[in-house]
Structure 1
């Protein structure tokens, strides 16, 4: 009888574990806010990604410079994802001629650039690089408030170059005090 009870308990535990849905990876990202919350997150090939670790300079920086033809926004992030010296990934976004909220396509490499680099795989995808043969995506600025010192937005992009897998960045969001 004890063996039957043990078998039924194990089977019930197995079936209940199979019935649970995996958590949505988007739920693991910071919320898309516009308050200067100093957050950044996205999915990289379906997995949550955000700045992590420290290699002697901040792992998430945002700068905005004003020029006569519009501002220049640069977002730079990195994460350490292991213990090896090459376990480092970088994600960057850049746009110029920006005067306020709007959408900037990474197809127009004169005004917007997306990039991702993985030192472990030695792959470096840049939307402006001629070796990147496929580029799609956009950066949307949802708030640019210079008085309050806040810039917020969303982004997504897909880049491919021969010799490297595609990099798909989706559900990206950032909210930063300048």
Structure 2
């Protein structure tokens, strides 16, 4: 009888160890430039990806949307709406389309104020609402000047507008309530076809 009881315990222990040994970086989507509508990064070593959810019975909340604002700027809005402790990231790239053909290359990340579009700063930034173990609550995390960069690796125009936007990013975000609390955003990548993705309403 002891063997019968011990076997499930051994199997459970093995399964937990197997889950714990998964490298979070292995869960990230591959780096592509073909409009696969993928987005992912590590937040303090933990895998983050946008996932759709529901706010009411009849309303879908999309996990990933894009927005072209003020003509030349572009934003990615990424929300994990399914986890018990959800998270969100807003990535704003200033003057991405200042050149009519679009500009690939590096965009230095600067200070965020926790607002977007017309209320956000006139430069490239990242901010997010993320659960803090230290504070045991959701906190607003903001980028600062020279706290990272976004590398746009491909911009492809379809008739009338840009479609594929691909790139990588990394940054350090700082708790708006405590300068000693920060998060590392690492191995970020996106490959988005903005024509097929839902667009965030412009405020």
Give the superposed CA RMSD. Answer: 3.4
Query: For residues 47 and 169 of structure 1, what CA distance do their matches in structure 2 show?
Result: 9
Whether 1:121 and 2:121 are equivalent positions in the alignment is no
Residue 155 of structure 1: which of 169, 179, 186 is its match?
169
- TM-superposition CA deviations, 1:31-85 (whole Å, max 9, x none): 0110000000000100111012414321101233584xxx211000111311xxx
Whether 1:72 and 2:73 are equivalent positions in the alignment is yes
Residue 103 of structure 1: which of 99, 103, 106 is its match?
106
Based on CA coordinates, which of the two structures has the bigger radius of gyration?
1
Query: For residues 53 and 139 of structure 1, what CA distance do their matches in structure 2 show?
Result: 24
**Contact 1:135/1:158 (CA < 8 Å) preserved in 2?**
no
Structure 2 regions of 5+ residues with no counterpart? 1-12, 97-101, 113-121, 195-203
1:122 Cα offset (Å) = 2.8
Spell out structure 1 runs of 4+ moving beyond 6 A.
none
The normalised TM-score by structure 1 is: 0.73
SS at match of 1:149: strand
Residue 153 of structure 2: which of 142, 158, 161 is its match?
142
Q: 1:142 to 1:108 in 2, by over 3 A?
A: farther
Whether 1:22 and 2:38 are equivalent positions in the alignment is no
SS at match of 2:95: strand
